Amino acid sequence: MAVKKKILVACGTAIATSTVVARKIEEELEKRGISVQLTQCKASEVPSKAEGHDLIVTTTFVSGAGDIPVIQTVSFLTGVGIEADIEKILSYIGGS
């Protein structure tokens, strides 16, 4: 069994926005038969929470992610550009 890829989802306060984004990512990946482990945090927490994740998806600028790839997008909130962002996510986590 393949190890689940880990995605850290960050927004300004880690209350509502990251929840919406995380659920949409999970929904879109499940449609493709891909299961991931999602964790949410505030953008300011990224430096302390990034380790061990394969990818960071954020709605705002983040720093301190080290070598972990970061996708900054609002497509999961607006609905515009979701497919392109899912393709980016898949390219980082090894999905097809």
Strand ranges of the sheet holding 55-58, from the earlier edge strand across to the other edge = 36-42, 5-11, 55-58, 70-72
Catalytic entry in 7, 8, 9, 11 = 11
41 is catalytic: no
Which residues are CB-neighbours of 28 under 8 A, at least 6 positions away? 82, 86
Catalytic machinery residues: 11
